[in-house]
A and B are shown apart, each in its own frame.
Chain A
């Protein structure tokens, strides 16, 4: 008897959740549609300068054209590859550097002021130097993507390493575990949540790094398309590249969230 009541309550609860989810979806869709329709109308009616702000229909037409003549593909692949690589390497190097700092407290104290300065400095300003040093190619764009995310990753992950409860380390040490085992069994797994959240930040950062890198190198990629569009005053091209970047960045972010759900199911 009471079981059926609680079952009923549970069903009500579930359908409540479902309803709310659906409503959120509907409103989100509405915002999306009205934004693009308003844009289209405003552009057609001349409320905004169509030369500058283009319009969704023109962007879509250009997109179809570029897809069918196959010229878009190479740019997208190029930029996406650079970004993913910069993003992975940036996080990896950042985590490695954090591990090094954790390993040697002396080193961490020595490097502390340098890290603060490097973190505060706008890394994109190093772009011209990178291009001269590495050459106007793929390498310097990746370097840009790494550079922009590596220091902040180091700082975030190192702070997380330091905040791990000492007593977990004690458990490992009481079983005769050495420093390396403490790191592997406790410090690293305990910090997966922080590493993942720095991954999320780095998705955004590495796009900035790569696009700026492409602005400077100007050969290929979506960043190149933006600069080119700007130079020939084709803002439809600029906006199309921007939208493609937005979509891809979203997918990358979703990918990280998926990883998060897989990796840190059981943290506390």
Chain B
């Protein structure tokens, strides 16, 4: 039984002058522990899709199920990390990472300690009393990840979590996130622009075409790459073959868009 199911989900945004169909007929299922990446051109509806899965947006068509339960409001087992860190500038790092626990009524010593442990694992123990403005972009991104993980969601939605980072930090964070998620047995959906990142981190890659966003193709990543850390996967011989394949498909999407 799939953990997460989307049944022909569609989203149309209405305004006074127009109706924009951002997503159309998206159906997919994700098993527990799986790591899925979503690739697609800018504006094809990736963030919209995550907002729908997170229960922040009720789709105009279709439905989302988690463990066969309809998602129509933010689900306690789903953690959503937005496209930017959105740490609260007026809260300390400590208060930022504990925000979810407070709101979810999980403010127990046990959960607090495990949030602090996560912060330590991710190497930001020393920032606990600081404010977000005193941290670098990469550090803030990691804090945002801790904030999302603190409520111990089963499904993580990550919207381009590494896009604002320099290449080296990004590679390191990929490994860190990948191993952290594996270790805790999380299911994850990652939105990215980076083909390499999608291949290196996930079990399968879903490619969206735009206007409206539809599933264009789904790639299964080979076993040889799946079990490696992202950094190692990038070195593996199978990596470039997969990269090539996805690249060509993307070209095709763009051509289709052009016509």
Contacts and interface: CB of A to CB of B under 8 A. Distances in A.
A192 B79 contact: no
Interface in A165-179: 165, 167-168, 170-177
A112 interface: no
A266 B133 CA distance: 8
Interface stretch (B5-13, B97-105, B178-186, B227-235): B97-105
A65 interface: no
B133 A174 contact: no
A239 B258 CA distance: 77
Interface string B74-88: 101011101010101
A266 B89 contact: yes
A177 B151 CA distance: 13
A171 B82 contact: yes
Interface string B101-136: 001100000000000000000000000000101000
B65 interface: no
Contacts of A192: 90
Interface in B47-84: 51, 54-56, 73-74, 76, 78-80, 82, 84
- Secondary structure type dominating chain A contacts: helix
B90 A266 contact: yes
Given A175-B151, A266-B133, A268-B133, A170 B82 contact: yes
Given A167-B84, A266-B131, A268-B133, A176 B74 contact: yes
Contacts, number: 56
Contacts of B90: 189-190, 192, 264, 266-267
Contacts of B51: 170
A177 B106 CA distance: 13
A264 B131 CA distance: 12
A186 interface: yes
A206 B210 CA distance: 57
A186 B131 CA distance: 16
Interface in A211-265: 264
Nearest to B101: A175
A174 B80 contact: yes
A132 B41 CA distance: 68
B104 A175 contact: yes
A82 to B, nearest CB: 33
A176 B103 contact: yes
A12 interface: no
A194 to B, nearest CB: 13
Leading 7 A-B pairs by shortest Cβ distance? A175-B103, A174-B80, A175-B100, A177-B103, A266-B131, A268-B89, A176-B74
Given A170-B80, A174-B55, A176-B74, 8 more contacts: A172-B103, A173-B56, A174-B54, A174-B79, A181-B103, A186-B88, A190-B90, A192-B90
30 contacts: A165-B86, A167-B82, A167-B86, A168-B88, A170-B51, A170-B80, A170-B82, A171-B88, A171-B99, A172-B103, A173-B74, A174-B55, A174-B79, A174-B80, A175-B74, A175-B99, A175-B100, A175-B151, A176-B76, A176-B103, A176-B104, A177-B103, A185-B88, A186-B88, A189-B90, A192-B90, A264-B90, A266-B90, A266-B131, A267-B90
